[in-house]
Amino acid sequence: MTTAGAARSFWGWGDTAAALTESEERALIARVAPLLGGAPKMARPPTRDEIELSPSRVTPPASLDSICTVDTEVRAGHTYGKSFRDVVRALERSWEQPPDVVAYPGSESQVTAILDWATTADVVVIPYGGGSSVVGGVEAPAGDRPVVSLDLAGLSGVREIDRTSRAARIGGGTLGPDIEASLRPHGLTLRHYPQSFEFSTLGGWLATRSGGHFATLHTHLDDFVESIRAITPRGAWESRRLPGSGAGPSPDRMLLGSEGTLGVITEAWMRLQDQPAHRASFVARFASFTDGARAARDLAQSGLWPQNCRLVDATEAWLTGAGDGSAHLLLVAFESGHHPVADRLPLAAEIVRAHGADLADDQVTTPGTQPRRPADDASDRWRATFLRAPYIRDGLVRLGLVNETVETAITWDRFDEFVDGVRAAVTDALITEGCGPSPILTCRLTHVYPDGAAPYFTVIAPGRPGLDRLRQWNAVKAAAMDAIDRLGGTVTHHHAVGRDHRPGYDRQRSDVFADAFRAAKRAVDPGSILNPGVLIDP
Amino acid sequence: MTTAGAARSFWGWGDTAAALTESEERALIARVAPLLGGAPKMARPPTRDEIELSPSRVTPPASLDSICTVDTEVRAGHTYGKSFRDVVRALERSWEQPPDVVAYPGSESQVTAILDWATTADVVVIPYGGGSSVVGGVEAPAGDRPVVSLDLAGLSGVREIDRTSRAARIGGGTLGPDIEASLRPHGLTLRHYPQSFEFSTLGGWLATRSGGHFATLHTHLDDFVESIRAITPRGAWESRRLPGSGAGPSPDRMLLGSEGTLGVITEAWMRLQDQPAHRASFVARFASFTDGARAARDLAQSGLWPQNCRLVDATEAWLTGAGDGSAHLLLVAFESGHHPVADRLPLAAEIVRAHGADLADDQVTTPGTQPRRPADDASDRWRATFLRAPYIRDGLVRLGLVNETVETAITWDRFDEFVDGVRAAVTDALITEGCGPSPILTCRLTHVYPDGAAPYFTVIAPGRPGLDRLRQWNAVKAAAMDAIDRLGGTVTHHHAVGRDHRPGYDRQRSDVFADAFRAAKRAVDPGSILNPGVLIDP
């Protein structure tokens, strides 16, 4: 029996050791008191003793016993991902569809053995990386089929580094920090920092088309793939390691976004970056969010390719401590492992000023004399808050708030109407659902393209007690998906589809493509054991 | 009856009006005489009267009569693509598998009508854009099933321009020059210039994952796709127009490279560029090809993203007139629609000089005083030769030469061994096949990646008379594919798979992926009417 990940919270985000301190809890209570009224109470998280699960319905064959566990805390910890819905259910001590078994394969042959057994025994298999899904991507389907959560922690490690080509072969189960720690001595970096960075894996990133560090140019991890190897119930699906190819449709691009429905990603050759040696950045202030978006658009179309180009609205800037709430902020940063980039700042400054930015001259002049600059401070504060946010989120949920996000993408021609439309739909739904008279709804642009942007909305609003909060959020989320669909956006830019986005996804993709994808899945997973109901029905 | 494209050569490249002049022919003869010995004779191209085709085996229904033709010259012109093999067969007056009918749909509903009829009548349909395939991609399969060549010339035009997002909706049958002519008044460009630019279409480029103008960063057209719409026998396969998305595997990426096997690409929303307003370039000379490749590698890894970064070996430089044959040339060019780029030259120069480049200072200093520079001249000569090359190729084939290319890609760690290995295999095979004692084999890098490059080999060698030359080339090509496979490259970087690359492709892709792709095809093309045998057997 393996019980890897024991320090991980089974009910909320991250490591138990990094949970909110008592003083952080008090500060959070004081901060949200005006929103909630009275003296808000923070619900107590569940303890191991409070976990009650339905008994496991299946016994793996003896040959797999050593890599399987039915430990209660482990099963509970693999029942959900880490979305608002997941935390609420755990806080309510509700684990209705736990996996019957959690398996920890240590090799591809053990993955194959589990898939073989599952196909024979009609057991559902849910590939599980870091378990950080916020879209129901690692959740068991309802029904009578037993479920195995396939935890890939044992398939980890940077296995080979090709310094000449700047690439590495990395196990699918490798967590973000472990990837970077292995690459750092070689002066290399994958430089992929989703918000889940500490608790998510390469395989999970690839399976969900994760969005990372780069706000322009290479926004999704997709572009850094040389080759992917996955184990399907019918054998290995792999591609040749290549810098580029035109030989038929890309096998990798079909696995990217397949969310565990086609195979288990066991390793990939990934393109790397040199560690950045040169940096330059500024923070521009805008009175109008629309003007800030126009500036971001022109930056994206300029070919300057800033690594960071994130527009944060005034409210979110205030909430995250990046600003005082008096202006919308556009964080623009350049970096390079090769050449100085400070000469890009005046070019970028000219663009943002043309759209009315408030930007002090000393932010644009070449750095050197100033060891710390306002842009660095704002950026650092924002990043620290960024990685800490899920812990805070858990605190807000314990305080009874609805705290969740909606992310999407749209082309520039429809941008204003789209953002206004989604904002209105979510606000209306929050009010209709009784989430207080003035729910907080913030917006930032996480990624910016020459032809559009990825708006990211965050909701903070009072909710009703218990599981009622889920019904409130489900209604709000449905309203958001309706608006996104009606206004032509995508149901997800980088959180993936999972189970939660299925209604929007089904309207977005064409039926003919769905037929082709379903047929492809059947060919490699004839027993429909892999994540059935995620992306597509069998 | 439509007879579009009447000015197009039915046996060789391009427009009949642009064929080699008599003086060009004389110059070419003089140039290759040393290679062939004696007084080489240029074979006379076939005339319309010399075309003998098997009779058409099928009659379309009356409802489709107005868009179908069985005209002999049209059928002959749609029998082959434009490879060496194709031209040799046409010169030998051999059209063994002509399409029975050539159809010219003028609308999506006419495409649907043809697919419906073909499915019912068990007729093979070959989507045909500009017909510039050099891999047997538009060639009919042997067998008893009647064949329709579906010429998409009628589905052309730039239909909508979104200036704000810099994107356009373009018909699949639109030729390169027509796309650019429509975009130019808006200050926009698709900036996709494959060698076939004048005689190939957007739909063809997408179906074959065409490689274009940009030598680094966005090398394949794939990255400029917002959405694709294709008509399959089961209906429309289309995606939502988006700047980015993480909603499942990309439907567009499955069509990209599908080579007409899944559906007929009728239109796409494409991302555009601003017309370049700033340019800067130099040509560096290298005594060693390997050093030139190292310089190209470091440029690709620098993040400077030159638009042009093409390494041409000394022999090819001499043949194309870009150089005198005394050095390998690396053409490096920057361009921007937004900001001056001359400041990139010293950064790039430092990189290439570190690898021993011979590069004069006056090529690197900011231009302005010099209206024309050596780099411009070499680059212009090279580009003019580039677009004229297929006409010259036809002349060389008429002179009895074997003149064909092999293109591939490989990561940098294996680059030297790979290029040497392919070169040796091709040279050995040429000599074994009796293509003279010293065949010409040149190499250039057409596209350069941070993790590898795309070497492109050109063969010029004396061949045996008649169709024997095909058997010679087939053996050489097989040896090249064997070497590429053995050394880990891709069977094609941007020419596509078609029928010619099937043996190498079958070894390169995993069987599990092939099963998935075959199943996807069956789901949307249950009658297996679309390009059967290209990419995959039914």
Specify if B290 maps to a domain.
yes
The token duo for A325 is 């709430």
Looking at the fold, whether A122 and A207 belong to one and the same domain comes out as no
Tell me, what's the pLDDT at B3? 43
A259 touches chain B (CB under 8 A): yes
Return the HEC string of B451-496: CEEEEEEEEEEECCCCCHHHHHHHHHHHHHHHHHHHCCCCCCCCCC
B411 in reach of chain A (CB within 8 A): yes
The answer on pLDDT for A370 being more than 80 is no
Q: Which of residues 446-465 of B touch A (CB under 8 A)?
A: 447, 449-454
Q: Which of B220, B452, B517 is opposite residue A165, by nearest beta carbon?
A: B452
Do A243 and B453 count as a contact with CB atoms less than 8 A apart? yes
| Residue B12 domain flag | no
With beta carbons under 8 A apart, name residues in chain A contacting B242: 409-411, 452, 489-490
Best of A242, A341, A408 to disrupt the B interface (most B CBs within 10 Å) is A242
Cβ contacts (< 8 Å) between A336 and chain B: which residues? 302-303
Domain assignment present for residue B223? The answer is: yes
Which among B200, B192, B191 is positioned nearest to B81, based on CA atoms? Answer: B200
3-state secondary structure of A121: helix
Here the ipTM equals: 0.96
Average pLDDT rounded to a whole number, residues B425-447: 96
* pLDDT tens-digit map of B130-161: 999 999 999 999 999 999 999 999 999 999 99
- The Cα A508–Cα A257 span in angstroms is 15
Give the integer Cα–Cα distance in Å for B422 and B485.
10
Neighbour-count burial for B386-424, b at 16+ CB within 10 Å, e otherwise: bebbbbbbbbbbbbbbbbbbbbbbbbbbbbeebbebbbe
Q: What is the pLDDT of residue A365?
A: 82
A265 and A299 both lie in a single domain: no
CB of A246 within 8 Å of a chain B CB? The answer is yes
Contact flag A492-B453 (C-beta cutoff 8 Å): no
Q: What value does the mean pLDDT take over residues B228-249?
A: 98
Cβ–Cβ gap A166/B451 under 8 Å: yes
Are B316 and B234 contained in the same domain? no
Longest C-alpha distance within chain A, in Å?
70
pLDDT at residue B368, as a whole number: 43
Distance CA A126, CA A115 (A): 10
Min Cα separation B365/chain A (Å): 18
Residue A231 has pLDDT above 80, yes or no: yes
Q: Do residues A108 and A174 both lie within one domain?
A: no
Phi, psi (degrees; rounded to nearest 5) at A24: -65, -40
User: Are A301 and B248 in contact (CB < 8 Å)?
Assistant: no
Contact residues, chain A, for B241 at CB < 8 Å: 411, 488
pTM of the model: 0.96
Contact A162 B240 (CB under 8 A): no
In a domain? residue B378: no
Residue B366 has pLDDT above 80, yes or no: no
Shortest Cα distance, chain A CAs vs residue B408, angstroms: 8
Yes or no: say if A263 and A238 are a contact pair by the CB < 8 Å rule: no
Mutate to test the interface with B, among A355, A448, A513 (most CBs of B within 10 A): A513
**For testing the chain A interface, which of B513, B515, B530 should be mutated: the one with the most A CBs within 10 Å?**
B513
Mean pLDDT in residue range B340-350: 97
Q: Is A391 a member of any domain?
A: no
pLDDT band at B35 (very low <50, low <70, confident <90, very high): confident
Average pLDDT over residues B86-99: 97
- The number of distinct structural domains making up chain A is 4
Do A26 and A139 belong together in one domain?
yes
Q: Which domain holds residue B420?
A: 400-500
Domain membership flag for residue B31? no
Last residue of one domain, picked from the residues A130, A154, A178: A154
Alpha-carbon distance of A60 to B18, in angstroms, equals 72
Task: Residue B477: give its domain's CATH number.
Answer: 3.30.300.330
Query: Does a structural domain hold residue B436?
Result: yes
C-alpha B237, offset from chain centre: 25
The mean pLDDT of A1-23, rounded to a whole number, is 80
Closest residue in B to A501 (Cα–Cα): B247
pLDDT tens string B498-538: 999 999 999 999 999 999 999 999 999 999 999 999 999 98
Residues A51, A72 contacting (CB under 8 angstroms)? yes
Domain shared by A264 and A164, yes or no: yes
User: Which residue do the tokens 């295999």 mark?
Assistant: B425
Q: Chain-wide mean pLDDT for chain B? A: 94
Interface test with B, best of A108, A134, A165 (most B CBs within 10 A): A165
Question: Is A346 part of any domain?
Answer: yes
- B520: which chain A residues are within 8 Å (Cβ-Cβ)? 516-517, 519-520
Per-residue DSSP letters for A500-513? TTHHHHHHHS-HHH
Indicate whether A312 and A408 sit together in one domain: no
Query: In CATH, what number is assigned to the domain containing residue A175?
Result: 3.30.465.10
Residues of A in contact with B522 (CB under 8 A): 519
Q: Are residues A120 and A96 in the same domain?
A: yes
Give, to the nearest 10 degrees, the angle between helix A22-36 and helix A374-398: 80
What tens digit of pLDDT does each residue of A86-112 get? 999 999 999 999 999 999 999 999 999
B450/A248 CB distance under 8 A: no
Give the A:B interface size as CB pairs under 8 Å.
294
